[in-house]
Amino acid sequence: MVARSSSERWGIAEWYGRDITALTNAERKVYAQDAKKSVSEVCRPCPFMGSFIPGFTCNKKGGICSTQKYASSGGSTLPTGKRVAICPSRLVTKDVLLAIASDVLDATSVLLVREVPYSLSLVNKRSNGAPAYAGRIDWILVDKDNPENFCAVETQSVYMSGKSQDADFDEIERHNGVLTAPVHFRHPDYKSSVPKRLGPQLESKARHLTNAARKTVVLVDDYVFDNMSELREVQIPEGNATTPAEKKANMLEACEVIFAITKLEPAEGLSPPSFLYTTIADSRTALDAVSPMPAKQFFRTINEIVQAKTKATRAKVFPL
């Protein structure tokens, strides 16, 4: 689990696909102005999705791809340390998708299909009377030479918690594009975003694909993975793992979910993904990264709140 200090300030690392420190003051000022507009007004290209979808434009208001901690150095405040994706598009490039296709499908010639329906409503209908689609899979990678050989790809980044980042945009604009320290305390919020969104997605989408004997790949960055508890891989008997190739083939057959973990690198790059082969149940356990509180500790906690000895606990207790 990643420790966090209340004094940390997280700010912009990559903005509209570019390293914020590589921008000129004039460019940062224009970006700050664009960040406060709607995405339809701005229409800036996304270099990540654009690597395989020509003309793809940024669909995230504010245009922030990733975030970093800011620290003072030599009289300036600069982003430093690990970059964390806060837009799922930041995790998707042609090279990463081809690496997934090679590992999971053993294919080099693949097609990418976007937003594929996978479930039908029991209540709502389309205009032609057919059941309405009730859910879609982000991406399907399909072996061009064998269309029945495919896998799903779900991307998951973190959300930010804290006050609106508009104050940062205003501050940069007010200083004519000079890079300034983040105004408010904001941080990547793993707990409020990843388990709550990805867990139900796995239960629905991955369960459906498992029933069809197909795999679900979850693409995350190393920040998300570091906030998970230990992810248990599927176990293969030693007799079925006499060579690395045999072990991988049997793990791939036994698993339900494959985590592809990548790392944001300088110059807006991504590291080649590493892969872990697991189950839906073990994925959810690792994503939740919690254990039940022992009963005695739980009872003691309730008693302490009920006694209301501090201002903080008194604010939680209401007589009826």
pLDDT (0 to 100) of residue 310 = 76
Let me know: does 220 contact 181? Beta carbons within 8 Å.
no
Q: What pLDDT score was predicted for residue 5?
A: 45
The predicted structure's pLDDT at residue 221: 97
What pLDDT does residue 7 have?
55
Q: Hey, what are 181's tokens?
A: 């320290």
Q: What is the widest separation between alpha-carbon atoms in the chain?
A: 69
Phi first, then psi, for residue 73 (nearest 5°) are -155, 120
Is 171 within 8 Å of 77 (Cβ atoms)? no
Among 226, 177, 180, 254, which residue's Cα sits nearest to residue 23?
A: 177
Exposure pattern of 258-276 as b/e (b: 16+ CB <10 Å)?
bbbbbbbeeebebeebebb
Quick count: other Cβ atoms within 10 Å of Cβ 314?
A: 12
Instruction: With a cut of 70, list the residues of the chain below it in pLDDT.
Output: 1-8, 74
Structure confidence at residue 172 (pLDDT):
96
**Phi then psi for 144, rounded to 5 degrees?**
-60, -30
What backbone phi and psi angles, to 5 degrees, belong to 163?
-70, 165
SS3 194: helix
Q: Which pLDDT score, from 0 to 100, does residue 305 have? A: 86
